Structure 1
Amino acid sequence: MIGAGAIGAGTAWTLARQGHPVVLVDPELAQTPERHPKTTLTGTSASLGILMSYVFRRSSGRGWRLRRRSMELWPQWADALHTPGTPLKLHSGLVQLAASDQEASLQRHLAEQRSALGLEFLPPDTLQDAHPDWPSCRYGGLRSAKDGRVDPLLLQQALRQQLQQLNVTLEATRVEQLQRGQGGWVLQLANGNQVAAKQVVVCSALASQALLAPLGHARPMEPVLGQVLQLQLANAEHLSSQWPAVLVSHGVNLVRHGADQLWLGATLEPGTDPDAAAAERLRSLEGDAPRWLGDCKDVGRWHGLRARPSGRPAPLLEVLEPGLILATGHYRNGVLLAPATAEWVSEQIDASGHQKRMLTDP
């Protein structure tokens, strides 16, 4: 396994639980998952851990199937990863505010279609009672009882703890080169070690390109930077008991943090350098922010990079050639799609092993 974010570590954990011997390689394994405000973070560490599945507008296609399957698997993941030392849990409840009458109409229609999946449309008066002084509430909003968030740092800590218990080999270094070998693959590591494997799963986001290109597999991805603001409220009463796990307004996620803080994120910026003005625009919510949000004190911020596939839909889930599996480029949905991605990779490995046994049986 190359890459130890939510996708790589989650897939390694899944495979190890099934009895596969696993080696996980990533220089980030040398550090405890945390947020460094002045450092460009990897996608998972920078993420807010939003699980936005059932409010997804499309009702067919691979994107919908992956989202729905992940949300079916997430409760199992949370239960299996929860320990006293890593109390991982799902924070359920997401409200997406409508930005216009037209959007409200689309939300009503989606709520009718997916009422059995926990969706309901909240009329303006209901929202205004829960969130007074919010201009965006004037159109109503869509509530999902099952969507929400999970703490991405706690997720990584829980996965690493269980990977060690499952005797997964953790290589805290970089893969310099991926080569075809006799009956499999050879990973040349920056620390001078080599790893030989019959199956290699590449989950290293933007770094995947340099490993795959020499093998003749062009899978270009572009960096999209995201910034998050951490705000201290002057009056904690604005965060009522009815505040959901995630409140979404004009594409901005507002996540309650503790009794009197909010996280706002994330920006969508091309390139790798954060723009201070883009971060400040998060507060405005396109002019629909309540007045008290502008009075909040900025007590922190961080930023990270997501890998967005160029010319292809996210994510990149492909068997490039026998024994070489690509599972990366999840863009903004790495945490959400980790369970479904891990399941897909497991299925490809099982199918490959089954086919090999069939070919060698007398």
Structure 2
Amino acid sequence: MNLINKQKKVAVIGAGFVGCCTAWLLTKQGHNVTLISTNSSGSSAALGLLMADVFQRSSGRSWRLRQQSMQLFGEWQQHLQGAGHQAKINRGLWLLTNNSNQWQKYQMLAEERSKQGIGMEIFNAAALKEQVELGVLPPLSEGLIGGIWSSRDGQLDPTEWMKELLLDGQNKGLKYINSKVSQLTQIDGSWQLSLEANNKDNEIYDWLMVCAGLESIALLAPLGLSNTNNLAMQPVLGQALELKLPAGINLQQSINWDGINLVPRPDNHLWLGATLEPGLNQNQAGSIDALKDMQQLNGAAPEWLNQAKVIRHWQGVRAQPLAQPAPVLEQLLPGLCLMAGHYRNGILLGPASAMWAATIINEDSKDN
């Protein structure tokens, strides 16, 4: 069912997770959408953790965006699966800690969510040992103080979801151009793009959705927008590992262990990540020490994790806003929106960001 009064011609620049979500939703709603990108590097280090209910605040923009995204993920999953696509969400997330102050915060958070009617269970060290004995959790380190179990949060595979969103979008009419955008030109209230692939995209667009991460700022600079709108962002490198676990280790759900994410994968593999290294870009090597500390859970790793074999190592860059909260969702000029700076929540906030874009465009459709 289309939700629009008038079809708009839209270009989405950047095919990371946010760009794919936006292009898919706008296409689904009946707009004429072209997705333009050369890669999806913005999502390359993402492990796909969905941490909405475990967010420390219970109000405000960030809370609302997280809750909206989780609702949309459920709706989108049903739609994609109904159309024959794979769209798996692994529900359930453990938050574990070796830190007494963090343990107090977790207990307060679980109590607050219980008052809101959101299921979240508290586990002290003894209760966690029982979960290990039941086979729910693998063996844990002795210094573990406690944790919480969030049933509605979880994890998805970003690469698989992007692939399925693109396939379904293209079945609905989404067009894809494999090129880098070099220039944005405003023409009589509409927009034209210069592409590296063929110098000029002759199409005229009603709307541009710029979802190109850190590259967005350079693209907007010739329009005089990068400084006047407080759009400054810094790169924050994230390194991740894929590990082969020792035989007999059964990890069923994702774990956030004092900020480090452990994501179970098929064939007894594990994704582990990701580091926080401000100021480094995609072309720079991440810190070996930071990678080592992550693999050892900053000294708290159980023996099975220390014994795990490294299968591959990769890294990606997050865009962190410096002058405003993440993410930056802003209409900069008529027909021009910036959707970037999601920092560590580009996967979680993909659907809510896409809905923000759809609302902006559909409100314009009513007025014109």
TM over 0.5: yes
- Identify which of 195, 204, 214 aligns with 1:189: 195
- Deviation of the 1:102 alpha carbon: 2.5
Moved more, 67-76 or 283-292: 283-292
Q: Give runs of ≥4 in structure 1 deviating > 6 Å.
A: none
The alignment partner of 2:324 has SS state of: coil
More helix by share: 1
- The alignment covers a number of residue pairs equal to 340
Deviations along 1:37-70, one digit per CA (max 9) or x if unpaired, are xxxx712232111111100001121111111111
Deviations along 1:191-241, one digit per CA (max 9) or x if unpaired, are 223231111111110110111111111122111111111111222x2225x
- Deviation of the 1:188 alpha carbon: 1.1
Structure 2 counterpart of 1:73: 72
Deviations along 1:316-358, one digit per CA (max 9) or x if unpaired, are 00011211111111111111101111111111111122233xx
Structure 2 counterpart of 1:89: 88
Structure 2 counterpart of 1:258: 266
Would you say the 8 A contact 1:201–1:327 is kept in 2? yes
Q: CA separation of 1:47/1:132 partners in 2, compared to 1, >3 Å: closer, same or farther?
A: closer
Matched, 1:327 2:339: yes
Q: CA separation of 1:278/1:193 partners in 2, compared to 1, >3 Å: closer, same or farther?
A: same
- Identify which of 156, 181, 185 aligns with 1:179: 185
Would you say the 8 A contact 1:176–1:188 is kept in 2? yes
Counterpart amino acid of 2:263? V
- Identical-residue share of aligned pairs (%): 40
Q: CA separation of 1:174/1:64 partners in 2, compared to 1, >3 Å: closer, same or farther?
A: same
Deviations along 1:147-175, one digit per CA (max 9) or x if unpaired, are 11111111111011112111112111011
2: CA distance between counterparts of 1:355 and 1:139? Answer: 57
Would you say the 8 A contact 2:138–2:250 is kept in 1? no
Would you say the 8 A contact 2:209–2:338 is kept in 1? yes
Counterpart amino acid of 2:21? G
1: CA distance between counterparts of 2:266 and 2:182? Answer: 42
Q: CA separation of 1:84/1:294 partners in 2, compared to 1, >3 Å: closer, same or farther?
A: farther
Counterpart amino acid of 1:187? L
- Identify which of 138, 148, 155 aligns with 2:144: 138
The alignment partner of 1:112 has SS state of: helix
Q: CA separation of 1:287/1:75 partners in 2, compared to 1, >3 Å: closer, same or farther?
A: same
Counterpart amino acid of 1:125? A
TM-score (ref. length: structure 2): 0.88
Counterpart amino acid of 2:199? G
- Deviation of the 1:83 alpha carbon: 6.7
1:30-45 alignment to 2 at 5 Å? 42-45=41-44
Q: CA separation of 1:93/1:128 partners in 2, compared to 1, >3 Å: closer, same or farther?
A: same
Structure 2 counterpart of 1:8: 19
1: CA distance between counterparts of 2:288 and 2:122? Answer: 35
Deviations along 1:6-37, one digit per CA (max 9) or x if unpaired, are 11111111111111111111112xxxxxxxxx
Would you say the 8 A contact 2:28–2:169 is kept in 1? no
- Identify which of 352, 355, 359 aligns with 1:340: 352
1: CA distance between counterparts of 2:31 and 2:112? Answer: 40
Moved more, 134-143 or 43-52: 134-143
2: CA distance between counterparts of 1:48 and 1:181? Answer: 40
Would you say the 8 A contact 2:45–2:274 is kept in 1? no
Structure 1 counterpart of 2:237: 225
Q: CA separation of 1:137/1:338 partners in 2, compared to 1, >3 Å: closer, same or farther?
A: farther
Q: RMSD of aligned C-alpha atoms? A: 1.7
Matched, 1:200 2:208: yes
1: CA distance between counterparts of 2:211 and 2:142? Answer: 38
Matched, 1:215 2:223: yes
2: CA distance between counterparts of 1:101 and 1:278? Answer: 23
The alignment partner of 2:98 has SS state of: coil
Matched, 1:287 2:311: no
2: CA distance between counterparts of 1:85 and 1:231? Answer: 31
Would you say the 8 A contact 2:293–2:299 is kept in 1? no
Counterpart amino acid of 2:107? R
Counterpart amino acid of 2:236? V
2: CA distance between counterparts of 1:252 and 1:170? Answer: 35
- Deviation of the 1:276 alpha carbon: 2.3
Structure 2 counterpart of 1:161: 167
The alignment partner of 2:191 has SS state of: strand
Structure 2 counterpart of 1:304: 316
- Deviation of the 1:291 alpha carbon: 1.8
The alignment partner of 1:176 has SS state of: strand
The answer for unaligned runs of 5 or more in structure 1 is 29-40, 357-362
- Deviation of the 1:73 alpha carbon: 1.0
1: CA distance between counterparts of 2:346 and 2:359? Answer: 19
Q: CA separation of 1:45/1:70 partners in 2, compared to 1, >3 Å: closer, same or farther?
A: same
